[in-house]
Structure 1
């Protein structure tokens, strides 16, 4: 895990790098690097002012080297008085369409600029694959992009939404007038259905946790089981040891940014003690969330040999909160770091017949108990 000591060492390296720069400084904000400089005014602004430009690079040694190269490039432009917002902010880019470029060439040029503006993990997930699919022997056109979206993705899927977003931005970048957003699924994409028989029961989760022999991976599993985390989130989260407020805080570096979660069922917190123990010594600096989640999944699949995936442990948490009768969907969705729409659409379908019956019996017992109290109440 990244410790305070690790950040101190990195910040010392960052200070040393900045001493070799003149008009530009590299700044760390969380786990991302930015360029700080006094930049010329944008259109309609009266004067130059200091701004932060995202580099899209992570706060680690390789990322710092790449950010330094960008800083030198920016310094050169400022010294030569040839800085252009067209280069550093894609919203100002106005292209004259170059028919000599292939669709692939346009994709690579757009991708290089886009990678500067966003986190590496976001670029890999949302841009790298769609851009790599563009042909090298054809010109870029709205018709080509539309055909690619329809051929490479299925309707009402997450990949369709990603391709539409990426290719629309590419078209805007290249100056091609086309509206690809009409290909987006009405009402959003449809997640792959979760079958109730794929989700481990509470008994199976507890049994799995008890059988795990590696203490570090056992602590990791406990945190996912108690808080319904995504497989990469335990590497970044902080956990309270206060029984009156046993929260977990998931920071900005995760998929949906900062959110807070609570254990459910509540007694698992005292059984599994998720705040205790060290996590596996997995290198997290410079790794995106997908890689970290894959490493964890590989261990449990190949070494731990558990009978379910880590994501299904997360799914089980969602179903438990839905059946609790005490936790609203809106609260549970916030604990899990996604929208209430995704929460309801994804998890309610996975509630099994036996769980529906259990929920009905619980509600029936509660109503019966309340009725009996009213009958015996003094007049």
Structure 2
């Protein structure tokens, strides 16, 4: 049976409420659920249709909870026992009166419950972002933008900061679109001029004085590994590496391109540095510091990009094969390396349709 869309599920709840003569409707407010009903004005004089922003997450449990809340609100309306204090006490809906520290704590409780993430994931991800907000005063749009603009544009940090603060703002009822500030980190930010040539890769590998970090460099260059994957992989044979399932990016098998590097650098003799971390970025940060220490003129991740281009363009492996070996989807691979893939296709068509038809090759100039 096909999965019902969120819109359909909400409509079904509302249809049931209507049939049951319950004067309440479920509303989707951003990415959280709330209720709409005709309620007394807070002044105590008159009534009008109003929204109750309950901040209930859009999950299976959240849909059940919002339906229960709708029944409760309908009961209070029909018995004239509705009280704003009852509906505001848990959410402290006067968000302009509570400090951001309390808002974040309330949000944390609900977010962990709704998404079932580990405390460590919150601590090393969300907390590091949200603790940059002013903690002792109510959250404002200006505070949110200040935190975002303090990060470097077009980086993963900027992108994640925008994503996390967007969710917090939706919880807090602050209407703001932060996507326009996230920049173009990722696919569009990859510049062909930044990709090192194979000769340059070999040159700088040989300049690294530490055998352990030289091994890490070689693994990224030869097998296209992400920096943290070098610490969570094992060899199947001299040309084949298995990235373990315990990594955030998941299990996949990759192969040496070119195989000569795996043999010449004897990568199967593992010389992994003793580095500990709680999340992938911890290993990535350590790797970044080593690249800076050795004054390598390109970031570590560009070794992975060079591997992708070498496999897809130089060696002509199918997109699906390269994507599988690199641990991402064919769609991601196509989008990330669109420039090179398109140019290679154009060159192939040109050679077949134009150059191959020439009966008289051009004369070599004297």
CA shift at 1:121, angstroms?
6.7
Which of 164, 167, 170 is matched with 1:166 structurally? 164
Aligned residues: 272
SS at match of 2:253: strand
CA displacement 1:211-244 (0-9 Å, x = unmatched): 44432222222211111111111111112225xx
TM-score relative to the length of structure 2: 0.57
For 1:209 and 1:159, the matched residues in 2 are separated by 28
Which of 252, 266, 269 is matched with 2:262 structurally? 269
For 1:356 and 1:147, the matched residues in 2 are separated by 39
Change over 3 Å in CA distance of 1:125–1:199 after alignment to 2: farther
Residue of structure 2 in register with 1:21 after alignment: none
SS at match of 1:281: coil
1:204 aligns with 2:200: yes
CA shift at 1:155, angstroms?
9.8
Residue of structure 1 in register with 2:79 after alignment: none
- Cα RMSD between the aligned structures? 4.6
Residue of structure 2 in register with 1:118 after alignment: 117
CA shift at 1:112, angstroms?
6.4
Residue of structure 1 in register with 2:101 after alignment: 104
- 5+ residue gaps, structure 1, are 1-85, 370-379
For 1:122 and 1:280, the matched residues in 2 are separated by 24
For 1:305 and 1:149, the matched residues in 2 are separated by 30
Change over 3 Å in CA distance of 1:128–1:222 after alignment to 2: same
SS at match of 1:239: strand
CA shift at 1:360, angstroms?
3.4
Residue of structure 2 in register with 1:233 after alignment: 229
For 1:336 and 1:292, the matched residues in 2 are separated by 18
CA shift at 1:359, angstroms?
8.8
1:319 aligns with 2:316: no
Q: How does 1:150-229 map onto structure 2 within 5 Å?
A: 162-163=160-161, 165-170=163-168, 176-177=172-173, 183-184=178-179, 190-191=185-186, 193-229=189-225
Which of 347, 357, 363 is matched with 1:360 structurally? 347
For 2:194 and 2:352, the matched residues in 1 are separated by 29
TM-score relative to the length of structure 1: 0.56
Residue of structure 2 in register with 1:139 after alignment: 138
**Rg comparison, structure with higher value:** 2
For 2:222 and 2:119, the matched residues in 1 are separated by 29
CA displacement 1:199-222 (0-9 Å, x = unmatched): 211112123334444322222222
Higher relative contact order (CA 8 A, sep 6+): 1
CA shift at 1:138, angstroms?
4.2
For 1:357 and 1:339, the matched residues in 2 are separated by 20
C-alpha contact (below 8 Å) 2:313/2:344 kept by paired residues: no
SS at match of 2:274: coil
Residue of structure 1 in register with 2:271 after alignment: 278
CA shift at 1:189, angstroms?
5.4
Q: How does 1:60-79 map onto structure 2 within 5 Å?
A: none
